[in-house]
């Protein structure tokens, strides 16, 4: 049991009003500190670098009495189903994975959204095979964009800490009730030490209240007990098609309804520095940190450059991006993956796509020197649109 | 659940569907109906659209009627013919994905145990042979290795029925099926042996030829899972549609197989044996007390 009796408080109170103390910790430790205060009932773990350490530390929290049940599942597909089963029973859950684990588990993610499960999961992003790699890469994020989950991307350990804690209150809203994925770049954030302001140890989030679920919790306490009649799956008729179609639309609508709740915690979906500059660097995750340094270097050389940090990928920051880039003449999008999914996303949101320089892209585990971004800013290195 | 939940608001009684009224007035919640009483009470599973002569729906009907505590039972299915049966069931039930049923049930049972520490909440998995022994075998076995406290039932039609009669791991060696055009090349998987090896406290192999045996074994499986550890019941449920049998021939096939290659088997761990014996004694005691009561009343 924890040494002190933890006082349950609202997410707003915990994140905005509680006294904060600055500590020098790794990203994985920031996960532990967030989950220590998240009042999680069940966590299920499966090892994969660079996620493993986070879930070891979550396991320590279980041993200390902060979490009520915890175990190592048999593989990520099973883990995501175990977490789903626990969420269906009406308890608060947490898990984490990355890269190959994400892909192994994939069928579960749209199932979570479709079942309206308020699961919070963290992805410590990593490259995927082949060839085998354990290095940082955000390729999995591009593949998860259409699974129905809300997607937040942390730039650093502070973001990671705050985003995990806020996610429960977004996911668990009656009007939302879909999963939230908190993404963070593996190694770059999980395995480096940073200053993180964390709240005092004597508070925790209020518990999850399953009676607020928009779909019946599977506990035989919540009517109706017969909630479907006729298996619409196998029927070839208009009512069946319409039932499935409207259900999917409702999942998308749930993500839209999350907007004000996400904004209440994050302030905005995107943050912009030097909004009037004709050149804008647009990024998410640690590419933002590299972009910020590149902007500083370019400005030293007399170039007018701004920075757009994207914090929320789903629901899509369409209006925010359109506004931030309305006057930009050149848009540089550095990414930690080979597919350029972020550039594709941005291109789908704004007019005049010839403004986009879709790079630099680094992958395979390489770092992204700010000089490379500066080269693209200057147009010395040409990248695709 | 509290039976209060099902009680009807008298002001709505005239607009409630008849089937709901029947369920409240003559359903199994809070009453002691079993498979023997089929036909005399309002069932939780009915009006299913399964094929004529479907043995899976027969087995489904029997086990649902045999639930020891339906008012607090949550069932987990898997993709397959059972997913056509489940929507007709008036119990909370989960269809999630093909093959992940024992993983879902693991999380579900643990979550319910945290939320209702002082209440019995039975979790029962029901899935096809493909779901249990092929695509979900790892999760079937690992839930048993971990000692998860719920019952697993396999509806073994020895085929992927729902997708049109393909070979499954439970098909007998040599049988010609879709995707096994020259006959299956390996033996039927003995999931019952795997269950025993994996530590299941109760294991039974039965066929639709013996409905009351299904009922008895299933009830034991649920009770032992509740108190001791994982349990497994494998029911032979031949599929007339894919085997191209007349619907009347399918139970005859089960009868025939039950005398040959699908014989009744039961494994009870010593701990489960002790538990079941103690329970039988208690029930007998109860019966004695009740009949005494009745005698006194009639006297
Ligand atoms: C991941 C995945 N693979 C394949 C399928 C297609 N599929 C649906 S049901 C089924 C067969 C089910 O067989 P079994 O578990 O034996 O149940 P039965 O229909 O025979 O009762 C298959 C292969 C699917 N739904 N999902
Ligand atoms: Mg089958």
Do B287 and B181 lie in a common domain? no
Pairwise CA distance, residues B79 & B92, whole Å: 16
Nearest to B200 by CA among B258, B142, B129: B142
Do B173 and B278 lie in a common domain? no
Domain annotation for chain A: domains and CATH numbers: 7-211 (3.40.50.970), 270-378 (3.40.50.920)
Distance B242 CA to ligand 2 centre (A): 10
Backbone angles phi and psi of A273, in degrees to 5: -115, 140
Q: Looking at the partner chain, which of A42, A81, A90 has a beta carbon nearest the beta carbon of B97?
A: A81
Q: Shortest Cα distance from A66 to chain B (angstroms)?
A: 14
Q: How many domains does chain B have?
A: 2
Give a yes or no: residue B33 inside a domain. Answer: no
Give a yes or no: residue B25 inside a domain. Answer: no
Secondary element (H or E) of residue A313: strand A312-314
Domain interval for residue B297: 269-299
How much is the pLDDT for B284? 82
Checking DSSP bridges between strand A69-72 and strand A42-45, what pairing results, if any? parallel
User: How many Cβ atoms from other residues are within 10 Å of residue A63's Cβ?
Assistant: 9
Nearest to A38 by CA among A69, A76, A8, A18: A8
In total, chain B counts a number of residues equal to: 299
Do B205 and B264 lie in a common domain? yes
Backbone angles phi and psi of A122, in degrees to 5: -115, 140
Do B215 and B290 lie in a common domain? no
Does the pTM of the predicted model rise above 0.80?
A: yes
Q: Looking at the partner chain, which of B94, B106, B114 has a beta carbon nearest the beta carbon of A68?
A: B114
Q: How many CA atoms lie within 13 A of A267 on its CB side?
A: 10
Which H, E and C letters describe B203-224, residue by residue? EEEEECCCHHHHHHHHHHHHHH
pLDDT tens for A187-242 read: 999 999 999 999 998 999 999 999 999 999 999 998 888 777 666 666 778 888 88
Chain A hits for B121, CB-CB cut-off 8 Å, are 219-220
Q: What is the residue-averaged pLDDT of chain A?
A: 95
Do B80 and B228 lie in a common domain? yes
Q: Give this complex's ipTM.
A: 0.96
Do B248 and B274 lie in a common domain? no
pLDDT tens for A139-189 read: 999 999 999 999 999 999 999 999 999 999 999 999 999 999 999 999 999
Residue A132 has pLDDT above 80, yes or no: yes
Residue A2 has pLDDT above 90, yes or no: no
How much is the pLDDT for B292? 63
Give a yes or no: residue B14 inside a domain. Answer: no
Whether residue B128 has its Cβ less than 6 Å from ligand 1:
yes
Do B161 and B282 lie in a common domain? no
Q: Looking at the partner chain, which of B108, B142, B146 has a beta carbon nearest the beta carbon of A85?
A: B108
Do B283 and B227 lie in a common domain? no
Q: Judge: B112–A74 Cβ closer than 8 Å, yes or no.
A: no
Residue by residue, pLDDT tens for chain B (299 residues) are 888 888 888 899 899 888 888 988 999 999 999 999 999 999 999 888 899 999 999 999 999 999 999 999 999 999 999 999 999 999 999 999 999 999 999 999 999 999 999 999 999 999 999 999 999 999 999 999 999 999 999 999 999 999 999 999 999 999 999 999 999 999 999 999 999 999 999 999 999 999 999 999 999 999 999 999 999 999 999 999 999 999 889 999 999 999 999 999 999 999 999 999 999 998 888 777 766 655 655 54
Chain A hits for B108, CB-CB cut-off 8 Å, are 85-86, 88-89, 218
User: How many Cβ atoms from other residues are within 10 Å of residue B229's Cβ?
Assistant: 20
């Amino acid at each position: 049991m924890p040494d002190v009796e933890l006082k349950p408080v609202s997410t707003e109170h915990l994140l905005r009003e509680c006294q904060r103390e600055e500590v020098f910790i790794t990203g994985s430790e920031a996960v532990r500190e967030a989950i220590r205060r998240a009042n999680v009932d069940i966590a299920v773990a499966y090892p994969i670098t660079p996620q493993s350490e986070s879930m070891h530390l979550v396991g320590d929290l279980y041993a200390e009495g902060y979490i009520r049940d915890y175990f190592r599942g048999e593989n990520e597909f099973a883990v995501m189903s175990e977490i789903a089963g626990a969420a269906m029973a009406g308890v608060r859950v947490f898990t984490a994975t990355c890269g190959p684990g994400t892909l192994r588990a994939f069928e579960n993610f749209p199932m979570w959204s479709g079942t309206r499960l308020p699961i919070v999961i963290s992805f410590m992003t990593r490259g995927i095979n082949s060839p085998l790699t354990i290095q940082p890469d955000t390729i999995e994020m591009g593949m998860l964009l259409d699974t129905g989950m809300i997607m937040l991307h942390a730039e650093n350990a502070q973001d990671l800490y705050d985003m995990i804690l806020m996610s429960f209150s977004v996911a668990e809203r009656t009007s939302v009730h879909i999963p939230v994925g908190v993404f963070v770049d593996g190694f770059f954030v999980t395995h480096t030490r940073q200053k993180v302001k964390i709240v005092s140890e004597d508070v925790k989030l209020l518990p999850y209240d399953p009676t607020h679920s928009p779909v019946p919790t599977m506990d035989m306490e919540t009517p109706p007990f017969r909630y479907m009649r006729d298996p619409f799956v196998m029927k070839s008729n208009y009512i069946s098609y319409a039932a499935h179609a409207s259900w999917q639309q409702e999942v998308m609508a749930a993500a839209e309804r999350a907007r004000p709740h996400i904004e209440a915690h994050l302030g905005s979906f995107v943050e912009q520095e030097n909004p009037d500059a004709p050149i804008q660097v647009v990024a998410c995750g640690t590419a933002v940190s590299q972009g910020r340094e590149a902007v500083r270097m370019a400005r030293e050389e007399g170039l007018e450059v701004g920075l757009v940090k994207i914090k929320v990928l789903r629901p899509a920051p369409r209006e925010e991006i359109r506004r931030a880039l309305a006057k930009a003449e050149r848009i540089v999008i550095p990414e930690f993956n080979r597919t350029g999914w972020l550039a594709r996303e941005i291109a789908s949101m704004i007019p005049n796509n010839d403004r986009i320089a879709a790079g630099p892209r680094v992958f395979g585990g390489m770092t992204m020197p700010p000089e490379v971004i500066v080269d693209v800013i200057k147009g010395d290195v040409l990248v695709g649109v | 659940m509290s039976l209060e939940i099902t009680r009807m608001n008298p002001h709505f009684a005239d607009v409630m569907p008849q089937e709901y009224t029947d369920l409240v007035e003559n359903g199994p919640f809070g009453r002691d109906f079993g498979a023997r009483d089929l036909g005399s009470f309002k069932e939780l599973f009915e009006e299913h659209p399964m094929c004529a002569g479907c043995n899976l729906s027969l087995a489904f009907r029997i086990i649902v009627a045999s639930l020891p505590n339906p008012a607090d039972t949550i069932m987990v299915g898997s993709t397959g013919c059972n997913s056509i049966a489940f929507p007709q069931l008036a119990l909370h039930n989960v269809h999630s994905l093909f093959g992940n049923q024992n993983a879902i049930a693991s999380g579900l049972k643990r979550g319910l145990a945290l939320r209702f520490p002082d209440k019995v909440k039975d979790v029962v998995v029901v899935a096809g042979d493909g779901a249990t022994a092929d695509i979900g075998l790892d999760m079937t076995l690992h839930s048993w290795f971990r000692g998860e406290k719920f019952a697993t039932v396999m509806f073994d039609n020895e085929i992927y029925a729902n997708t049109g009669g393909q070979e499954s791991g439970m098909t007998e060696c040599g049988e010609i099926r879709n995707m096994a055009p020259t006959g299956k090349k390996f033996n039927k998987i003995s999931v019952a042996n795997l269950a025993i090896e994996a530590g299941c406290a109760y294991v039974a192999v039965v066929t639709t030829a013996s409905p009351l045996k299904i009922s008895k074994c299933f009830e034991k499986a649920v009770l032992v899972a509740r108190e001791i550890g994982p349990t497994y019941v494998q029911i032979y449920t031949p599929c007339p549609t894919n085997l191209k049998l007349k619907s009347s021939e399918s139970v005859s096939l089960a009868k025939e197989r039950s005398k040959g290659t699908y014989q009744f088997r039961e494994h009870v761990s010593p701990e489960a044996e002790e538990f079941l014996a103690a329970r039988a004694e208690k029930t007998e005691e109860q019966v004695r007390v009740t009949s005494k009561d009745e005698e006194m009343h009639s006297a």
